[in-house]
Amino acid sequence: MLDWYRANEAALKAGDFRAVQPGAEPPERKPLAPAEEAEPAPPLPPVSTPAAVPDTRMPEGAGNTYAWIAALLLAVCGGLVWLWKRQRT
C-alpha cells in the first residue's frame, strides 16, 4: 500500500482523484500447514436452567399499605395530643 501511495501522492494531494491509479493485487494468502493449524476449542459445558425460584417480590400495593397505616397513626397521635392540650387549658 505504501508503494501505491507514493505512486499516487501528487494526484492525491492535488485532489485529482481521477488521476489516481489502482495498485497491485494483494499477495495470495497461503493456507496454514497442518502443524500450524490451531487446535479446535474444547466443547462448551451444557447450559443448565436454574431451578424454579419462588417470587419474593413485594406485591404492588404493599408499600402503600404501610404508608397509610403510618399516616393514620400519626393523625391519631396528633389528635390525642391536641385533645390532651385542650383539656389542660
Q: What is the full per-residue pLDDT of the chain (89 aa) written as tens digits?
A: 788 899 999 998 999 889 999 888 877 877 666 655 567 788 888 877 777 777 777 667 666 888 889 999 999 999 999 999 988 76
> Structure pTM?
0.32
Report the 10 Å Cβ neighbour count for 21: 8
pLDDT at 75: 97
pLDDT at 28: 82
Report how far residue 21's alpha carbon sits from residue 14's, in angstroms, rounded to the nearest whole number: 14
Grid cell at residue 36: 500450524
